[in-house]
Amino acid sequence: MNALIVAAGVIRRGKELLLCQRPDDKSLEAGKWEFPGGKLEEGETPKQALVRELKEELDIDVTVSRILDARIKRYERGAILVLFYECSIANGTPKALEHKRITYVRPEELTQYDLADADRCAAETIIRDKENANA
């Protein structure tokens, strides 16, 4: 089975992370919160797709660094592989161009949001990594 590949950005601002709320008209996980990003287009690497998607969705330029997590989510229509990358904003201020809302949250607050399934799993990894770094 081929999986659709999606790149998502975990964008930090100090100790906070950027979350975006999916519009209500999306076919998958409408209204849920997520780390922003999108599908790879033909010939793109995940990092290239993430730079393009974040420009389109939030009007920001980002620097993409290391991969933080990878999750496979199975739906009736097929599987989606989501690659979560740590990002920093190189230029611009995020604007909700394609999302219902955007907000910054502390890692320990992530569980208070109704996150999309793959994002919830990635959030657990981010929280665990933060706790291990502070131990």
Task: Specify the pLDDT at position 134.
Answer: 58
Contact 88, 13 (CB under 8 A): no
Is residue 127 packed enough to be buried (19+ CB in 10 Å), middle (13-18) or exposed (0-12)?
A: middle
Three-state SS for 135? coil
Q: Tell me: pLDDT of 27 over 80.
A: no
pTM > 0.85 = yes
Question: Does residue 36 carry a pLDDT above 70?
Answer: yes
Quick: pLDDT tens for 70-129: 999 887 778 899 999 999 999 999 999 999 999 999 999 999 999 998 899 899 888 887
Q: Is the pLDDT of residue 132 over 60?
A: no
Predicted pLDDT of residue 135: 47
Domain-by-domain residue ranges, the chain?
A: 3-134
CA distances from 34 to 9, 29, 44, 133, 135 (A): 9, 10, 22, 23, 27
Average pLDDT over residues 12-27: 91
Q: Facing residues of 17 across strands? A: 12, 105
Quickly list DSSP for 8-34: EEEEEETTEEEEEEPPTT-SSSTT-EE
pLDDT band at 26 (very low <50, low <70, confident <90, very high): confident
114 token code pair: 């109704």
Give the right CATH number for 3-134 from 3.30.420.40, 3.30.499.10, 3.90.79.10, 3.30.70.100: 3.90.79.10
